[in-house]
Amino acid sequence: MISIMKDKKKLQKFAAVLLTLALWQAAAMALNQKILLASPLSVLARLAVIWQEPDFLSSVWFSFIRIVGGFGLALVLGVLLAILAGKFPVLEIFFWPVFTAIKSVPVASFIIISLIWLTSAELSIFISFLMVLPIVYTNVLQGIRSTDKKMTEMADVFRIPWTHRLVYIWLPQVRPYLISACSMSLGLSWKAGIAAEIIGIPDGSIGEMLYNAKAYLNTVDLFAWTVIIVVISIAFEKLFLALVRYGFRRLARL
Amino acid sequence: MSDLVIQGLNKRFGEKRVLEAYSATIRAGRVTCVMGPSGCGKTTLLHILMGLEQADSGTITGLPERISAVFQEDRLCEDFSAVSNIRLVTGKTVSEDEIMQCLSAFGLAGSEQVPVRELSGGMKRRVAIARAVLAEGELLILDEPFKGLDEVTREAVATEMKRRIAGRTVLMVTHDPAEAVLMDADVLEMRMIS
């Protein structure tokens, strides 16, 4: 019964996608101006060719490794800072202005300021790092704060070492917060990272491809590269979250 | 372990006096049941002995280094199996075979590797009891250990428990005099502070 309902929902979603594509195609045909609105069929045709171009894989790899690198660094540092702030509450107050500033300053300001200090090739790592860090920190800290006090008391009475507390008590309780942080920040890291590349225009990046498409008014390319970014971002998000969930499942079998 | 001697223990929570000049001696190597009406400070006394609460004044002598406990709630790691929960507190001092035997003796054969969240309330309680029994503590503190167990299971668990904790000092809170009889326990009455 549940399976049938899930299949029905999937079908409904698929139908919604088809309807949106049909509306997009109709609008493009009605407008008949490729520069203003590329049709989905022309984007699809371009996608069929674009991946065979010599620079395609290197451009995707260039952006992927930097954005994912920034995300990974932020994930590690965000978790570490949250653990420290959980252990020493004074650090939470100390970190507060930094994280509040990162969360409220527009990403474009950070990109422009960072360009003074960093090369354009380093920019997307830093910007994706900067956007992800406060999300991971805030969520994981919230998870640590919500740890069941009674379980901590149990660990105190039985004198459980902190490494075991980490695996058996803290990680399972932080898990939903960490997964939620990753889910929220993965898409954001791609959006911010690509925005940084469009402003910094590092050679051989997806951002450069998007910039060129805009400069030469090549709307079909612009749409095609946007589709590629969305696909890579979603695929990485799904893969990464599946790996995290698998890791936690393995942990539970200890 | 020597006798546990509590002298002139006082504890307040704000304006509420929970323990007032409370004194008692818990005989080493025996099971002692603490009984009394709700709110008379039984759990507070256990928490002070476990180091989870600080007494305002008074002395406790003979308190051992290592304590094991069954709390009022099960306090188990729900994602992990019964074996993992027990190994978490015993470390390598108890073999997996011993853990399996103990769980089986408490009627949990076949459920040893199942995540605790999938067990029934009574089964979880028995895992918590097995954990306390197998942990190294010289003093066992049991806060209503048979809570949620039916009469037949309670008797079976008590029999197995008595066999496994023989010679250890046990302090148990209960509301039911039958449980004190079941455990061949000394009884320590606590009264409400007027």
Q: What is the mean pLDDT of residues A47-71?
A: 93
Lowest-confidence range among A1-10, A59-68, A71-80, A145-154? A1-10
Question: Is A158's CB within 8 Å of B68's CB?
Answer: yes
Sign, CA torsion B133/B135/B139/B145? negative
Q: Please report the domains of chain B, with CATH numbers, ordered by start residue.
A: 1-64+169-194 (3.40.50.300)
Q: Would you state the pLDDT for residue A254?
A: 64
Structure tokens given for A65: 């490794």
Give me the amino acid identity at A94: F
CB neighbours of B73 closer than 8 A, spacing ≥ 6? A150
Give the span between the Cα atoms of A221 and A55, in whole angstroms: 14
DSSP code for B117: G
Mutate to test the interface with B, among A147, A149, A158, A166 (most CBs of B within 10 A): A158
Is residue A73 over pLDDT 90? yes
Q: Measuring CA to CA, which residue among B48, B41, B70, B55 is closest to residue B8? A: B55
Kindly state the percentage of chain B with pLDDT values over 70. Answer: 99
Q: Measuring CA to CA, which residue among B146, B84, B86, B151 is closest to residue B121? A: B146
Min Cα distance A173 → chain B (Å) is 10
Q: What is the pLDDT of residues A165-180, one digit of tens each?
A: 888 898 888 999 999 9
Work out the number of other CB atoms within 10 angstroms of the CB of residue B154. Answer: 20
Question: Is A168's CB within 8 Å of B80's CB?
Answer: yes
Min Cα distance B194 → chain A (Å) is 30
Q: What is the pLDDT of residues B124-177, one digit of tens each?
A: 999 999 999 999 889 999 999 999 899 999 999 999 999 999 889 999 999 888
What number of residues does chain A have? Answer: 254
Q: Please report the domains of chain A, with CATH numbers, ordered by start residue.
A: 49-252 (1.10.3720.10)
- Bridge partner residues of B68 (DSSP): B140
3-state secondary structure (DSSP) of residue A98: helix
Give the span between the Cα atoms of B138 and B30, in whole angstroms: 12
Q: What is the pLDDT of residues B45-69, one digit of tens each?
A: 999 999 999 999 999 998 898 999 9
